[in-house]
């Protein structure tokens, strides 16, 4: 794993996001997780930041990534916790515990979907939440995070 530092942001993707591009493309689009990771790396670089992209289908591993971000003094976190957004008090607590600026992102508009998706525990722990912009939401999340931490766009 890459060494994190104050110029690193963690981009964490939860369950089933490894299936982007093939899982319900009418909802989630045709872009793959590798496309998300390239977008995040390029966007972070515009602000002099590095994106450390990770994906796990396991809640505990996502929590470990959050704790690692704290231990390595990462500048921020962008998280798409997938279905765990709506169920995981443990992810909420981990985000709150580390006190790292965090943005939640969702590829689809969770508020226009099933009612059980309308509540997000991770959004309650984040300073901002984006939903419905497709994978471009990650670019917007990193731009917003960069503004929050005072990282300026490089020319």
Active site residues: 28, 106
Please state, in angstroms and rounded to a whole number, the distance separating the CA atoms of residues 70 and 107.
Answer: 25
Which residues fall within 8 angstroms of residue 25, CB to CB, at 6 or more apart?
Answer: none
Structure tokens given for 83: 């279905």
Please state, in angstroms and rounded to a whole number, the distance separating the CA atoms of residues 96 and 101.
Answer: 9
């Amino acid at each position: 794993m890459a060494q994190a530092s104050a110029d690193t942001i963690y981009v964490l993707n939860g369950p089933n996001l490894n299936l982007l591009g093939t899982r319900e493309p009418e909802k989630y689009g045709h872009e793959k997780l590798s496309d998300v990771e390239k977008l995040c790396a390029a966007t972070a670089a515009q602000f002099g930041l590095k994106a450390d992209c990770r994906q796990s289908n396991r809640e505990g591993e996502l929590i470990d990534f959050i704790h690692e971000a704290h231990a390595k003094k990462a500048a921020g976190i962008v998280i798409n916790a997938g279905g765990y957004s709506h169920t995981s008090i443990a992810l909420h607590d981990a985000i709150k515990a580390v006190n790292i600026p965090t943005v939640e992102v969702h590829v689809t508009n969770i508020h226009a979907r099933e009612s059980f998706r309308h509540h997000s525990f991770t959004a309650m722990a984040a300073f901002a939440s984006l939903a419905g912009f497709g994978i471009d939401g990650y670019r917007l999340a990193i731009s917003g995070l960069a503004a929050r931490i005072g990282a300026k766009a490089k020319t």
